[in-house]
Amino acid sequence: MYAILDIETTGGNYDEEGITEIAIYRYNGEKVTDQFSSLINPQRAIQPFVVKLTGINEKMLQNAPKFFEVAKRIVEITENCVLVAHNAAFDYRILQTEFRRLGFPFERKTLCTVNLSQALLPEQPSYNLGKLIRNLGIPFSDQHRAHGDAKVTLKLFELLIEKDAQKKILKKHTLSLNPNKAPRKYLSIIDPLPSEMGVYYIHNVKNEIIYIGKSNNIKKRVLSHLTGVQKKALAIQREVHHITYALTGGELVTLLKEQNEIKVNTPVFNRAMKYRLFPMGIRIDFGQTYHKLIVEQIQSEHTYLNVYKNKKAAKAALFRWMDKFGICMQKTSLMHTEKACFNYDLKKCDGACMGKESPQAYNQKIQNIIDSFSYPHPSFLLIEKGRKNGESAFVYIKDAVFQGYGYFELNHQIKNQKQILSRLVPIHDNPDSQKLIHSFLSRKKYIKLIPLQKQTEKNLNLKASNS
């Protein structure tokens, strides 16, 4: 649980400042569950430059509550929370100073979105809150007011959590909030989980992620782990301590996020998916006069036309291509003799196996297969639903290479390449991600497909298409 915080102060000498305004959003990693915002009468003068910056003057604060009148509310809304702020050291120091004046200690864990942004958004030219938010395309009203700054800090933190593929935030602070707690009954683990689409993380008592999964109903899927009798389910049941999750919204983002984070975190119970979701592939040997299609276990030095769960699925694809494109069985790895292929006798093969079809004509068939796996545009965005109302997700392809995914609320947040990249959660392009994207495209599961015409990086022409 997090408490997203912003404080405005009177200014003045170190440790002599007073709070003039405070805003706090209690956030569970999915949504805001409570919020508090109030002007505060600091009972001391406000520096003129602060009045000019914030617009808060002493007249506005005459009837505002004093800090001791809201202190209990602040304690309650931040209880069992990590305090999150932009330049958290400042806001935390000010809060501790106010509580110390009342004679009470105030201790919380803290996270600084400046430090997180520097680590997770290293390309940004500035980490000043206003400049950073504008560069990310996040709407920002009421700047230098606590409620406005806290609201955009929450938006920034949501983006940073999504960017944190290695789950450093989640691992560190889940652990700090659950010190030395023994696992509770399964119902207490399952009950807080949502019945929505997302990726979930099963942790052991050391807070290590031991399994990553995805589902369109997280609660139902986790329940199957904790009530299953299969060998892996029983092993998970022995080690599970708590479960965290991330809502994802759309199907494709869910699949891409899961496969990427399994590769990044290598959980012990995801052994089969640690390296590849689809370990078998079909590649083309262009060194043969008649280009040859080869089914094999994926090797890093080769490029594959498509990838598959197992050899049976790959062979089935080859047979489909024989029927659809007129591929000769002898010119594949399924046949090892030089005699006429079975399809030639059935008149489904044009005779490449007998030398009756020219290499040029046959290799054009191979090219037709290649073309069938091409993306509809060199560069484009796939748009699907986001994690909440008013939000959309995008998957970004540039020059036929998958770049990653991200979320946006307004179209102007992805109106140019700079803003696309600032919201992007980068994922390495690999045969698994290509397979997932091609499958999604073939089923036309997206809301919109937006071709990106090749222009300058600052002015991309986004043209919506439903094709």
The answer to whether the CB of 264 falls within 8 A of the CB of 166 is yes
Assess whether 305 and 247 both reside in one domain. Answer: no
Residues contacting residue 237 through CB under 8 Å, at least 6 positions apart: 225, 226, 228
The span from the CA of 198 to the CA of 307, in Å, is: 24
What is the per-residue pLDDT for 28? 87
Residues β-bridged to residue 77: none
pLDDT (mean) for 391-408 = 93
**Average pLDDT estimate for 94-101:** 90
Mean pLDDT of the chain: 86
Does any domain span residue 461?
no
Residue 173 lies in a domain: no
Q: How many angstroms separate the Cα of 382 from the Cα of each of 40, 250, 259, 375, 400?
A: 46, 11, 18, 11, 13
Shared domain check, 211 and 70: no
Q: What φ, ψ does residue 172 adopt, rounded to 5°?
A: -65, -45
| Strand order through the sheet with 292-297 | 292-297, 280-285, 306-308
Residue 380 has pLDDT above 80, yes or no: yes
- Specify whether 30 is located in the same domain as 143: yes
We report the CATH number of the domain holding residue 139 as: 3.30.420.10
> 284 and 269 share a domain?
no
Same domain, 315 and 435: no
Residues 165-173 have a mean pLDDT of 72
Q: Do 110 and 195 lie in a common domain?
A: no
pLDDT score recorded for residue 309: 85
Tokens 């049976």 locate to 312
Query: What is the pLDDT, as a whole number, of residue 358?
Result: 94
Extract the tokens encoding 176. Answer: 């700090």
Give the closest residue to 350 by CA, choosing from 368, 366, 326. 326
Q: What pLDDT does residue 273 have?
A: 64
pLDDT value of residue 465: 45
Q: Are 343 and 329 in contact (CB under 8 A)?
A: yes
Domain identity same for 10 and 151: yes
Are residues 190 and 298 part of one domain? no
Distance (Å, whole) CA 71 – CA 396 = 46
pLDDT at 453 over 90: no
Would the pLDDT of 387 be above 70? Answer: yes
Q: What integer pLDDT is reported at residue 165 of this predicted model? A: 80
Residue 19 neighbours by CB under 8 Å, 6+ apart: 7, 8, 9, 10, 40, 42, 67, 94, 95, 98
pLDDT digit string, tens, across residues 205-253: 899 999 999 998 998 899 888 877 788 888 999 899 999 999 999 999 9
pLDDT of residue 123: 85
Which residue range(s) make up the domain with 201?
A: 178-273
Residue 463 has pLDDT above 60, yes or no: no
What is the reported pLDDT for 456? 35
Residue 33: pLDDT band by 50, 70, 90 thresholds?
Answer: very high
What average pLDDT does the segment 281-301 reach?
Answer: 91
Q: Judge whether residue 173 has pLDDT over 70.
A: no
**What average pLDDT does range 91-111 have in this prediction?**
89
The whole-number pLDDT of residue 153 equals 93
- Residues 329 and 398 grouped into a single domain: no
| Residue count of the chain | 467
- Cα angle: 113, vertex 114, 118; to 5 degrees: 110
Where does the pLDDT of residue 462 fall: very low under 50, low under 70, confident under 90, or very high at 90 and above? Answer: very low
Q: Which of 28-42, 256-270, 318-332, 405-419 has the lowest mean pLDDT?
A: 405-419
What lies within 8 Å, CB to CB, of 2 at 6+ separation is 26, 27, 28, 29, 81, 82, 83, 84, 111, 157, 173
Predicted confidence band at 454 (pLDDT cuts at 50, 70, 90)? low
Residue 82 one-letter amino acid: V
Q: By the 8 A CB rule, do 239 and 372 touch?
A: no
32 and 25 Cβ atoms separated by less than 8 Å: yes
Average pLDDT, stretch 389-405?
A: 93
Please give the pLDDT value at position 467.
44
Read off the pLDDT of residues 49-73 as tens digits, 9 standing for 90 and up.
889 888 888 889 989 999 999 999 9
Residue 114: how many CB atoms within 10 A of its CB?
17
Strand 109-112 versus strand 401-408 pairing type: unpaired
Residues 153 and 182 in one domain: no
